[in-house]
Structures are given as structure tokens and as C-alpha cells.
Amino acid sequence: MSRLHSMFSWHIATPKQRSDWFWKFAVAEIIAHRRYLIEEGLHHGDDQPHDFELKAIDSFCDTVIQGEKDDDEALEVAGRLFIAISNAPRGSIPAMILHCHGCGPRVRAALLKDAWLHGKSGSVLALNGGSLSSIVTYFQEVERNDLMAPEEIETLSSLSETVRVFRGAKMKDTVKSTSFALSWSRDYPTARRFALHGHGSGEGVVLAAEIPRDAILALWETSGAEPEVVVNPRRLRKVQIAERIDKAEEFAAWGIAA
């Protein structure tokens, strides 16, 4: 279903219809992922949602969708929903709301931030929430006041028009393909940790680039897990390799003898 059709369908539906649509989607996502885990031998039990998951989905439907709330209570309910679900559905379920442009702006921003900042081997939203271009759009649609802490908004506003950023990663085929990502940092040591501990078989590298301040989608340096700037990667400039990680150091970081 195209995004335009999804948005139209959501906004012409009644709150009850939206609630039913979301409930069925959320439950189906949990079941589908649990079946995948069972097939991989990573889950022992049936594929049905747990009672606490259903309770969190029901509460979100009642308060946020049918109740059409976008206040502190709605944020608390959205947070409980995110905590209750796990793995891939933590990306795909919030992405459904973002894709439809559903619920209120504060709830959308909270779901976006939670889904972006969580994940064991990368953001659950990046891995399970649709294309990179779609995720850039989701960031562009939310209000920064809802997405960032006041001090982070102030920091972003005080930056120069061009900002130097860094990214640690495992090298892909080219610098361009390695750099085409949303997560960067102004903090070099943070980027270097990802070059050391990131997933992939390529050489660990720290990339440096310049980004226009207005192409920064979010800056989380006090309210995130680590200092991070989310950027529109199409607007990165002067991308280059700042450092190549020595294999011996990389092995040591993983506790492997060189």
C-alpha cells in the first residue's frame, strides 16, 4: 500500500476503525516474528502474543487511537507499548504509525525516537521500519521540540552552518556506500568505538564528513544512548576516511588473539 493511500485511509477512518487496523497489524507482526524465531530455533513455545503484549496494545488503542490523546498520558502509554514488544516488531509497529502519519505529533515523535535509539545490532527502525528515504521523511515530519531535549535544541541552533561529523563502521565496497547512513556523531571517540565493535566483515574505519546544519534531523547528545546526530545522508559532503582501524586492535576489542 502506498504511503499516500495509507495516510488517506487512516485519516478518513473512524477512531474505532483505526484502532482495529492497528491492533490486527501489531498482533500479526508479533506472531510473524515469533514464527521466524521458532524456525531458527531461537524461541521455545508457541507463536502467540503474551498477555502483557496484548494489554499494552489494547491500552495504546484505547488511549491513543480511540481516545485520540497526545498528552503526557498518551506518551506514557506509548512508552509502555514499546517496552512490552521486542525485537523486530519494535521497529515495524512504530513504523506503521509513522507511515500512516497517524496519532498526534508528540506520540509520533516519541515512537520515532524510541524505535531509532534501540537495537542490538543497529536501530530497530532502520532494520525493520522501511526504506532509508522513508525514515528520513519521518524525521522531517516531526517537531524538534517533541524529538529533542531543550538543551539539545539549543546546541543545534548554536552550531555553525556546516558541521563536522564522524561515523565508525565496517568498510563496504566504497566510501560512498559505507557513508550512506543516518547515524553520525560529533564525538570522534564515539565513532571510533563503532569502528572497533561494529558488525560486518570489512575493515573498521572512521569516516569524517561535513553536513549542513539544516540537514541534521536530530541531535541527541544528552538524551540518547551516546552522542549522536541523525543526518540526511544525501547532503553529506567531503566524506573521507579519517582513520583505518588496525586489525590487531580490532581483534583485541573483540577479545580475539591476533
Handedness of CA 212, 213, 217, 223 (dihedral sign): positive
What's the rounded Cα separation, in Å, for the pair 215 and 136?
10
- Residue 194 half-sphere exposure, CB side, CA atoms within 13 Å? 22
- Contact (CB, 8 A) for 125 and 95: yes
Q: What average pLDDT is seen over the chain? A: 94
Q: Residues 52-76: what's their mean pLDDT?
A: 98
Q: Which strands, in side-by-side order, build the sheet including 216-220? A: 183-184, 228-231, 216-220
> pLDDT at position 258, please?
57
pLDDT band at 245 (very low <50, low <70, confident <90, very high): very high
Q: Residues 218-247: what's their mean pLDDT?
A: 95
Q: Which three cell numbers stand for residue 122?
A: 543497529
pLDDT band at 84 (very low <50, low <70, confident <90, very high): very high
Q: Of 84-98, 121-135, 230-244, which range is least confident? A: 121-135
pLDDT at 222 over 70: yes
pLDDT band at 122 (very low <50, low <70, confident <90, very high): confident
- 81, with CB counted inside 10 A (0-12, 13-18, 19+), is buried
What are the extents of the domains in the chain?
A: 3-146, 148-253
pLDDT at 1 over 80: no
- Residue 14 half-sphere exposure, CB side, CA atoms within 13 Å? 3
What percentage of the chain exceeds 90 in pLDDT? Answer: 90
> pLDDT at position 81, please?
98
> pLDDT at position 119, please?
86
pLDDT at 38 over 60: yes
> pLDDT at position 247, please?
77
What's the rounded Cα separation, in Å, for the pair 218 and 3?
23
Q: Of 96-110, 196-210, 241-255, which range is least confident? A: 241-255
What's the rounded Cα separation, in Å, for the pair 83 and 9?
28
- What pLDDT digit, counting tens, does each position of 179-200 carry? 999 999 999 999 999 999 877 7
